[in-house]
Amino acid sequence: MKRILSLLLAVCLTVSLLAACGGKGGDPVANNKAEASTDKYRDYYQVWIGSFYDSNNDQIGDLPGVLSKLDYINDGDPNGGDDLGADGIWLSPMMPSQSYHKYNVRDYFNIDPDFGTLEDFDKLLAECHNRGVKVIIDLVLNHSGNDHEFFQKACEELREGKEDGYARYYNVSKTQDSTYNRPVMGSDYFYEGQFDSTMPDWNLSYQGTRDYFEKVAKFWLDKGVDGFRLDAIKHFKDKDTDGVEFMKWFYQMAQGYNPDVYMVGENWSESGDIYEMYDSGIDSQFNFKFAGNGGEFIVASHGMVADMATKLKKFDDNIKKHNEKAINANFLTNHDMLRLYNMLDEEDYKMAAALYMLAPGNTFTYYGE
């Protein structure tokens, strides 16, 4: 009982510090619910499609599987049911790819056969929208797969010494260094692949790449996708762009197709880079500093709540200096991190969850947490 009281006390302390219910009394979330359908504030559920639910017994989770379990995420009735009540879903990468994680995209205009078809996606999207659930998809703009048609053609041309064709979509050089770090086999050239050899970095300064990305964004936004989770935005810095410029271009271009488009970026970085990237107008970036084991939410769960709330307020003030509409994106873990449940005392785990759920901004909950 003492434990429960201290939990309640700590939660109330945080809530009042964060001014979410400061002095109004009654249900602290009642006033926020009314606005939830018209603004960009959401509780997102991160679905890792390949391991979420398998609908056809091939041992791989798929889009029809997500559809069949939608009642669990949100049953469409905001006033009842034992669903999670998430009003947004982030779908992990689903475009055709050589890997299980699908962050090396071969074709930006389709669904990997492991996961289903474009028709399956349309059905899932329609049913989410029926329930008032927004859907954002993972979009990888830093690099493609090395089996992408453009990279394949670029390599063919580089083997013939031709630099002014498809090679312009990527970053290539005859001099190997820390940027141009991977050889194009059978040629004198090296290409930039920040993550691995299957992930050649796009040349984000090249107008041709941007024209291609515009087609990609239009394709998915025309389908009704509500926005994007953008991978590896820390690596958008390129020859003639500081990264912020590219992000700003992409955001504003996409807004031309959907003025309400929502974007959350993965900028696994120190605060300074994150603040700067908010200058681009991007809505959200994941708050890595507060996530994971050792992150501020976990530290606070052991009893340092007031300290965490002060830091969070400061962080929130700082991001809003760079974008007054910035919405912090809080989470505990994601697919790149260890699951915390087995590593923590259960009460601390629940406390950490309560803290990020109550923090200002959007929440992102990894499936299974």
Residue of the chain from 27, 39, 77, 196 that contacts Ca ion (CB under 5 A)? 77
Site residues for Ca ion, window 230-249 (CB under 5 A)? Answer: 235
* Cβ nearer to Ca ion, comparing 25 with 80: 80
Minimum gap (Å) between residue 182 Cβ and Ca ion = 13
- Say which residue the tokens 């992930």 belong to: 199
Give the number of residues in contact with Ca ion, rule: CB under 5 A: 12
Residue of the chain from 83, 122, 214, 316 that contacts Ca ion (CB under 5 A)? 83
Pairs from 244-252 (Cβ < 8 Å, separation ≥ 24): 244/276, 244/277, 244/279, 244/280, 245/280, 246/204, 246/205, 247/277, 247/280, 247/281, 247/282, 248/279, 248/280, 248/281, 249/210, 250/141, 250/213, 250/217, 251/280, 251/281, 251/282, 252/281
In single-letter form, the type of residue at position 144 comes to S
Q: Check binding of 81 to Ca ion (CB under 5 A).
A: yes
Minimum gap (Å) between residue 267 Cβ and Ca ion = 13
Minimum gap (Å) between residue 54 Cβ and Ca ion = 4
Which residue minimizes CB distance to Ca ion? 81
* Cβ nearer to Ca ion, comparing 46 with 142: 142
Residue of the chain from 112, 201, 266, 283 that contacts Ca ion (CB under 5 A)? 201
Closest CA to 277 of 225, 239, 311, 241: 241
Q: Check binding of 104 to Ca ion (CB under 5 A).
A: no
Residue of the chain from 25, 35, 38, 58 that contacts Ca ion (CB under 5 A)? 58
**Run of H or E including 301:** helix 296-301
What does the buried/exposed string (b/e) look like for 209-231 if buried means 16 or more CB atoms within 10 Å of the residue's CB?
bbebbbebbeebbeeebbbbbbb
Minimum gap (Å) between residue 81 Cβ and Ca ion = 4
Catalytic positions: 231, 266
Burial class (CB in 10 A: 0-12, 13-18, 19+), 123: middle
- Say which residue the tokens 């996708």 belong to: 225
Stretch that binds Ca ion, among 3-11, 139-147, 183-191, 361-369 (CB under 5 A): 139-147
Residue of the chain from 16, 51, 53, 54 that contacts Ca ion (CB under 5 A)? 54
Site residues for Ca ion, window 25-44 (CB under 5 A)? Answer: none
Rounded CA separation 249/345 (Å): 45
Minimum gap (Å) between residue 171 Cβ and Ca ion = 7
- Say which residue the tokens 């606070």 belong to: 300
Residue of the chain from 10, 46, 52, 62 that contacts Ca ion (CB under 5 A)? 62
Whether 143 contacts 193, CB under 8 Å: yes
Minimum gap (Å) between residue 42 Cβ and Ca ion = 15
* Tokens representing residue 119 in the block: 């028709």
Minimum gap (Å) between residue 64 Cβ and Ca ion = 8
* Cβ nearer to Ca ion, comparing 79 with 342: 79
- CA atoms within 13 Å, Cβ hemisphere of 68: 11
Whether 78 contacts 133, CB under 8 Å: no
Q: Check binding of 316 to Ca ion (CB under 5 A).
A: no
* Cβ nearer to Ca ion, comparing 65 with 292: 65
* Cβ nearer to Ca ion, comparing 128 with 298: 128
* Cβ nearer to Ca ion, comparing 56 with 252: 56
Q: Residue 242: CB partners within 8 Å, gap ≥ 6?
A: none
Contact positions vs Ca ion (CB under 5 A): 54, 56, 58, 60, 62, 75, 77, 81, 83, 142, 201, 235
